[in-house]
Amino acid sequence: MAITRLLVANRGEIALRIVRAARQQGIESVLAASAADRDSLAAREADRVVVIGPPPARRSYLDAKLIVHAAKATGCDALHPGYGFLSERAHLARLCDEEGIIFVGPRAETIDAVGDKLAARRLAAAAGVPMVPGTAALADAEAAVAAAETLGYPVVTSASAGGGGRGMVVAFDAAQLTAGFTQASAEAQEAFGDGTLFLERYIQTARHVEVQTLGDGRGTVIQFGERDCSIQRRYQKMVEESPAAILPEDLRQALHAAAVALLAGIGYRNAGTVEFLYDVERRCFYFIEVNARIQVEHPVSEMVTGRDLIGLQLAIAGDGAALPVTQRDVVVAGHAIEVRVIAEDPDRGFAPSPGRITRWRPPSGPGIRLDTAMHEGAVVSPFYDSMIAKLIVHGADRADAVARLGDALAAFEIGGIPTNLSLLRAIACHPDFVANRFDTRWLERTVLPVYSARKVS
């Protein structure tokens, strides 16, 4: 069944991105917006807007029944959840199924299967995908210490129910593990409603590499290359690029094959990302998790493949037929880098900085793309995530892309609120970044101490 009217159940740049992708396919869009977003850029471009509740997300974007009701009331035959909010909640997918609404994403049972990290590890093991040595669920800190003696230190706690750095504590000895376990479990409980933790051996010199995929739900999965997302602060990604220039070609092919095998084995449907750690010293990779949704950083994959991943999502969900592209059609060309522009103040402990944007002068030109819903006069709301734009550049190779990124960041002007632009500029011109010489802890270990000290001096 072809999609004719789509409820966009999200906000900001991803909502605008989905609205525009729907328009290109002749699909009418209805934006489900909170009261805070009723006059947003996405609301202006959507064919229709329905206000689903007040600004707090728990009373609007996080209310699955309310969102599905909005879809039914406006005659939508499909719903796209974007990323974040309810995008990986099987409950939303089930409600859509019950109401005869096409959910633009994986099946509910698939979301359940990969949403629990321990269950996902079992699936990866069954598919023969390499994994970081780890444990089953742990009852308490005492059990964790006993398991760590077998695994060997350092170890890291992981929350079974979710990621994003919640519930993660690195321990180099039993004292650190004992002290951090209860805190990590409480953090996971608060974030995911489940405090279950397990342990993994901590890879000290690692790159975070992930594979972008699309599946037809019947066993065919294709990949759109990999992304290197190693520049992180508190396990939150700040810079992403494609391809991962550090990978030897044989390992790149093996990484792609592992991701495809894992998802094909469970009949994966729609967009998904399989995440890995690349051990730089041992030159091997390990499975981390599956993200059953489109990712924030999907534009870098679009830039190097020339494929519209949101459009492909809609095509797969709409007709339920075979993928409209084959693996042979997907060719990676050049190099792309994305940075997340965030309304936060690095000089005040990265505190969010909501407020009105009084100056907005984004860069433009060949090889530059900006995904944003901001403009001069727009208000950054205090109710939601503080990312306000994604700046993406494309070059003939990594060196070309890095140079273009530096130029684009230098030209970007935002006034009225503090942002992280100065930190992004410091990253882009750092010799380690230019030389592709960093790991997942590089930013916190090398850049942030120097960046913070500049104010003191």
Distance, in Å, from the CA atom of 78 to the CA atom of 81, rounded to the nearest integer, reads 10
Q: Taking the mean position of all CA atoms in its chain, how far away is CA 99?
A: 28
Element (H, E) at 207: strand 206-216
Distance, in Å, from the CA atom of 403 to the CA atom of 393, rounded to the nearest integer, reads 10
Closest CA to 389 of 421, 342, 435: 342
Closest CA to 392 of 9, 93, 13, 8: 13
What the block records as the tokens of 131 is 């994994």
Catalytic residue, candidates 293, 307, 398, 404: 293
Q: Look at the chain and count its residues.
A: 457
Q: Among all chains, which residue has been given the structure tokens 């522009």?
A: 341
Distance, in Å, from the CA atom of 55 to the CA atom of 293, rounded to the nearest integer, reads 24
C-alpha distances in Å from residue 411, one per residue of 359, 407, 422: 13, 6, 12
Q: How many C-beta atoms lie closer than 10 Å to residue 253's C-beta?
A: 11
Q: Are 95 and 88 in contact (CB under 8 A)?
A: no
Q: Left if phi > 0, otherwise alpha if psi is -120 to 50, otherwise beta: which for 276?
A: beta
User: In sequence order, what are the beta bridge partners of 287?
Assistant: 131, 276
> Is 5 one of the catalytic residues?
no
- Residues annotated as catalytic are 293
